[in-house]
Structure 1
């Protein structure tokens, strides 16, 4: 009836069919997972676009001015005067006497008063 080679060939064909079915099924599962991820990415991008649009609406100067006017008494806001901005020369700097050995120099300065940072780009 059947020879052993026929039985072996039938077993190989059944194994190949099973392997093909299993591979096809795994590929379809991966494709479904990919579609699900693409859908989630699209949803997140749309959400981010919506949030950006909301932010631009909330930060419109006309809307903010209306809120300031409405809640002026509660917030006690005042416009900034141009003279309120300090000149850099008006900011007091801590005095360091580098000749006094008891006083330690500020962090980043060497004992001689020079910058201790070396970058290697230029010789000192």
Structure 2
């Protein structure tokens, strides 16, 4: 009734249909993943916008001044003095990196610690 070629062609068509369905299903899964990621990105953007709005409300100068007035005893803030502001040329150069990973220098105690905040 069926010839061998008919059977082979039917098998090839069934295999092609199965492969096409598999590819279609994979593409739909990828599209779902992309849509899910787009939703997450949109939600993250909305969260960032909300956090920026919160930050701008929290960092208003009037609000900060009220907080400084309330907590001035605890904060002990002082105005910035002119000698605290320097140019980039006034800053000391970065010291050279220690040889190796620095453990030998630390172990020997030969590391000369120099900071700008501590006067000798």
TM-score above 0.5: yes
User: RMSD in angstroms over aligned alpha carbons?
Assistant: 2.1
Q: Alignment length, in residue pairs? A: 87
Give 1:45-64 correspondences, 5 Å limit.
Answer: 45-64=45-64
2:16 is matched with 16
What displacement does 1:78 show? 2.9
Give 1:69-84 correspondences, 5 Å limit.
Answer: 69-80=69-80, 84=81
Distance 1:78 1:17 in 2: 79
What displacement does 1:5 show? 1.3
Greater share of helix: 2
Structure 2 unpaired stretches of 5+: 96-120
Give 1:83-94 correspondences, 5 Å limit.
Answer: 84-86=81-83
After TM superposition, which residue ranges in structure 1, 4 or more long, deviate above 4 angstroms? none
Pick 1 or 2: higher relative contact order, CA cutoff 8 A, min separation 6. Answer: 1
What displacement does 1:17 show? 0.7
After TM superposition, the score normalised by the length of structure 1 is: 0.63
Structure 1 unpaired stretches of 5+: 93-106, 108-124
Distance 2:72 2:3 in 1: 99
